[in-house]
Structure 1
């Protein structure tokens, strides 16, 4: 046995976060909460001082009371909205990454496809929503397709930016050592593009939810978008705001899941 093996090994103490890092994390959590509390408090005060009726602008306390009354009902309507948003997001993410990869691989495809994608994005999306209903009917298919149509473009642009931002010298080195194109994409381009891809995905999830809500405004008989429109027809302002609160919570949860996956991916690829 080597004598060095008999010596006590130095213990590596876990690195403790510095006081500045803890303060920065606390600041990022506390400041948004404080800002939101100030806005809600001012909103409550203005409504009470000015005696604004609930049919025009309900107080946050009235919205909270209505939310507690209707929470199980609203959660039931949140289910189809959430499912359609997730499906739309997954399709747009896969489609956007696939199109960005094709555009990056072939200059011919880039010149033929990319300008047309940009042109379609310049068209006001809301104006096209009735067309999807005429073509695909009033079911969830039209809502999901419309949501994909408005949410895949940020994924394309962000992913393409990441794939094209790889150092040219590094790509030449990979080719010099005999790496084929698929290996270069798997080991070099996609790991380098991870931050850009998730930047596009975080935009896409918000666009996907917007697309689903717009579709529910037009065709659905269930969902939070349908509830908002129904409450508006009944002048139920507290129910509108309660539905919006649930919608915001769902959106924050979905966005937070993407941020969590992004954190894990960045740790995996050393971002």
Structure 2
């Protein structure tokens, strides 16, 4: 019986593990399998060592609690957290992009504002959370404002880097063609800065959620942060982990949507 072989692979040559897998499939399968192995190790460790649930519940117990309380309780608290995180992210992204554009367009504005923006970002954020409550009250406004404050800075830095790092030869070509500063900014700098801008926005997705959760820790009667704080007071460790799982799921979806928006925009602009 004849056999066929790849002419590019010499006999006796070791074939790298996973070489036949599509890159997209590898990007999905490898982290998924790793996570499943870690969960299985966690489950086995808790059962073998008989670790009390109040210290570290098994993944199966967390899943049972998540199924049991998702609709009557967890979803009710997830809605305000998700809504406020989205609002904070959108506002911080808009402010960050606009400020980066202003800093890139004017040297005077950059010298006046950028050092102060960096200075305020060096202040420990958690120390400022009570001040936002004093200024804006205990409602959602203080949580959203605090979340915007900590999440817009990555967008500013990343977008500004993209606007500034355009190929100098391309800028000289635009100057030779007598393109105006606005035309260069719109047609050259902005398209070039899109990958940088979305890199900052991906970081801002995490920061916006963190800002809302910190605000809910300080003062709130609803939200996943409040639910985690309440469950910790009652030593409901399984409920704490269930809320964290929902937060992680939302964070992954949130990040994925931003990545999809980036892919769509870059394809549309042909970058």
Q: Do the structures match in fold with TM over 0.5? A: yes
Query: Where do residues 1-271 of structure 1 align in structure 2 (5 Å cutoff)?
Result: 23-72=22-71, 73-271=73-271
Cα drift, residue 179 of structure 1: 2.4
Determine the C-alpha separation between the residues in 2 that align with 1:21 and 1:94.
42
Q: Structure 1 stretch 179-188 or stretch 214-223: which is displaced more?
A: 179-188
CA distance in 2, matches of 1:156, 1:212: 20
1:30-67 Cα offsets, whole Å, 9 max, x none, are: 11111111111111111111111111110001000000
Question: What is the distance in 2 between the residues matched to 1:123 and 1:158?
Answer: 20
When structure 1 is superposed on structure 2, of 19-28 and 233-242 the one drifting more is 19-28
Shift of 1:178: 3.2
Structure 1: how far apart are the matches of 2:204 and 2:213?
A: 14
Distance 2:117 2:19 in 1: 45
Distance in 1 between residues matched to 2:19 and 2:197, nearest whole Å: 30
| TM-superposed deviation, 1:176 | 3.2
Larger deviation, residues 209-218 vs 172-181: 172-181
- Cα drift, residue 75 of structure 1: 1.3
Matches of 2:112 and 2:149, distance apart in 1: 19
Separation of aligned partners in 2, 1:23 and 1:249: 25
Q: 1:150 and 1:94 mapped to 2: Cα distance? A: 14
Superposition CA RMSD, Å: 1.4
Is the deviation greater in 171-180 or in 233-242? 171-180
Give the direction of change, closer, same or farther, for the CA distance of 1:22–1:263 in structure 2 (3 Å limit). farther
Distance 1:69 1:47 in 2: 21
Distance across 2 between alignment mates of 1:175 and 1:270: 23
Cα deviation, 1:88-110, whole Å, max 9, x if unaligned, reads 00111011011111111111111
Superposed displacement of residue 167, structure 1: 1.7
Aligned residues: 253
Gaps of 5+ in 1: 1-18
Q: Structure 2: how far apart are the matches of 1:221 and 1:21?
A: 52
The CA deviation at 1:173 is: 2.5
Q: How far, CA to CA, are the matches of 1:42 and 1:22 in structure 2?
A: 26
Q: Secondary structure at the match of 1:52?
A: coil
Deviation, structure 1 residue 207: 0.2
**Could you tell me how far apart the structure 2 residues matched to 1:215 and 1:93 are?**
19
TM-score, reference length from structure 2: 0.90
